[in-house]
Amino acid sequence: MAMEFWFEFASTYSYPAALRIEALARSQGVPIVWKPFLLGPIFRTLGWSDSPFNLQPVKGRYMWRDLERICAELAIPFRRPSQFPRNGLLAARIACWFEGKPWVPEFVRSVYRANFAEDLDISNAPLLESYLDSLGQPGAALIQQAQSPESKEKLRAQTERAVALGIFGAPMFVVGPELFWGNDRLEAALAWYKSHPQAEH
């Protein structure tokens, strides 16, 4: 089985993870499945009406500076979004409905760059359509399909599966029963995958 990469488009630490996971995992021979989900419903079950980085400003200040340092270290462009968190619902539906399509990882990276490097509104359908088009896909048609009742239900079910797996934040790397939380645990997750027999995954 593959290692699962669970991400939420509004999640700050998912940004560097999304940008670096594919090349890093490929170099180590670890297959990845991209699993978009929504943190909003999970946060609401914890009693939070907003990102904890907004609810706890002292933690938010730390996170923004920390993310800035991490991106500088990785040579990833970063601009603090003027709106946080941004609404990644449509982008998540697209990435979820078309799971496994070869263009999904690059689409996901485009959306993350829009949010955290270009300060663009990722809920904007024409923007997402332009990303799909630039990947050689029929953007308008794909967006229509991603807004079907079946697609909406698929993302809902995926978020429910996240809860069932014990996922409470993003990014989360899942290797069999093991969870690894945070961009800075990507290496540990890959190492775990490689050091444990496939049958256990």
- Contact positions toward a copy of itself, by CB under 8 A? 46, 56, 58-59, 61-62, 65-66, 69, 73, 166, 168-169, 178-182, 184-185, 188, 192
Q: Helix H segments across the chain?
A: 14-27, 40-45, 52-55, 57-74, 89-97, 104-116, 125-134, 139-146, 149-165, 186-195
Q: Is 123 a catalytic residue?
A: no
CB of 181 to a copy of itself, least distance (A): 6
Closer CB to a copy of itself, 20 or 101, in the complex: 20
CB of 27 to a copy of itself, least distance (A): 21
CB of 130 to a copy of itself, least distance (A): 36
Distance CA 78, CA 70 (A): 10
Distance CA 200, CA 118 (A): 41
Q: Where are the beta strands (DSSP E) in the chain?
A: 3-7, 32-36, 172-175, 178-181
Residue among 11, 14, 51, 110 flagged as catalytic: 11
Q: Which amino acid is at 153?
A: E
Q: What residues are labeled active site?
A: 11
